[in-house]
Each structure stands twice: as C-alpha cells, then as structure tokens.
C-alpha cells in the first residue's frame, strides 16, 4: 500500500472507527430493495419510503404478489419510480422462481436480476453477506479522482484502482467511510479544500 493510501486510510479510521450501513434494512432482501431505490435518490429519503413499502411486503413472496402500480405509487418520492417498481417486482419473482425465495449470494446471480447493476450487487455482497467488494458510487468516484487515487475515467476503472490501492480486508468498511467523509468534509459543491482533512494534504 502506498504511503498516501495508508495515510488516507488512517485518517478515515480515526474519523469513522465504526460505520453504520446508511440504508435501513433487516436482511439481504430488504437491503437489496433499498439499494435499488437509492439510485439517484438520497439515503434519507429511501429510509422514509422503505417502512411504507415493507409494511405491504418485506419479502420476495409478498412483493411478487403486489401490482407493479401499487409499488410505483409507494416509491414515487424516490424518483425513477416506473423503472424501479418494475425492477423490484421482477427481481422478487426471479428470487422466488430461481433461488428458492433467498437473495442469491453471487455477483453473477445478483447482476442477472432486473434493476440490479454491479454497484447494487457489490453493496449486497459486502453489506449483507460480508464478501469483499468495493461499491463505487458517484461520490466515491469523485473523491478517488480528487485525491489522486484513480484517473477517474470510469466507475469501473475507479473500482479497479481502489481495490489495488487498499487491502481487501478493508474494502467493505472503506467504501462506507469514504461516503460518510464525502458528505461531511468533501462535498461536490462549495467544497473548501483547505478545511478538508484529506484534500488539504492530497487534493
């Protein structure tokens, strides 16, 4: 690990020794649905909507029985409701038909579900199942480029660069630490690099 990566990890560990998972959930399925809803939507808003949705259906069997229109009405405040409601309905049906009602524990099977891309699969693999993964969202993508840890050409390239920069055992925690850090110290707009614990050294 480079001295810079080691120092960044040390700063993040000092600031965020414990990192809660920002999306409220009780199992792999409710986490999967919450992550699908979180695309282009704040975690705060997702956490306001999921209790309403999960009161109707908090498992794939019940969700598969709901009309797509009913799901769409509930999740409307999260944005992209037509696509997300179809995805949630479709993935619930496939989990029942192909996976015996359990969220599959592999990247391949997760990414084959409707509405589930690599980032969503990475979050579920790391946070629900504890497998090493480095989900890269727009915030992590931006910060990795800002800190000179990645060329930032694409989210895929950033994920490769970060996996190469940090030990595998730290990935699951690190991706959450970077998200929390970005919100608190390193926002996209009105960022003050001189006041940021990392950008003031490496920005």
User: Does residue 58 carry a catalytic annotation?
Assistant: no
The active-site residue out of 4, 86, 137, 160 is 137
User: Does residue 119 carry a catalytic annotation?
Assistant: yes
How far is Cα of residue 48 from the mean position of the Cα atoms in its chain?
17
User: What interhelical angle do 43-56 and 68-75 show, nearest 10?
Assistant: 140
Distance separating alpha carbons of residues 162 and 140, to the nearest angstrom: 10
Both tokens of residue 154? 């694409």
The active-site residue out of 84, 119, 161, 173 is 119
Both tokens of residue 137? 């969202």
Distance separating alpha carbons of residues 62 and 159, to the nearest angstrom: 35
Active site residues: 119, 137
């Amino acid at each position: 690990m480079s001295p810079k990566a080691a120092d960044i990890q040390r700063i993040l560990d000092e600031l965020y020794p414990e990192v809660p998972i920002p999306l409220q959930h009780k199992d792999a399925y409710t986490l999967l649905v919450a992550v699908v809803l979180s695309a282009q939507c704040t975690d705060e808003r997702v956490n306001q909507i999921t209790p309403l949705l999960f009161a109707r259906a908090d498992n794939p069997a019940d969700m598969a029985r709901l009309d797509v229109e009913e799901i769409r009405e509930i999740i409307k405040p999260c944005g992209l409701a037509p696509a997300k409601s179809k995805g949630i309905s479709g993935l619930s049906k496939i989990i029942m038909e192909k996976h015996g009602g359990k969220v599959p524990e592999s990247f391949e099977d997760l990414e084959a579900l409707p509405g589930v891309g690599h980032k969503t699969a990475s979050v579920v693999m790391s946070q629900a199942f504890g497998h090493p993964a480095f989900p890269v969202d727009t915030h992590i993508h931006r910060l990795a480029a800002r800190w000179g840890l990645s060329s930032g050409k694409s989210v895929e390239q950033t994920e490769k660069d970060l996996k190469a920069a940090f030990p595998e055992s730290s990935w699951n925690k690190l991706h959450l630490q970077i998200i929390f850090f970005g919100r608190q110290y390193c926002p996209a707009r009105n960022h003050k690099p001189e006041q940021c614990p990392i950008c003031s050294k490496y920005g």
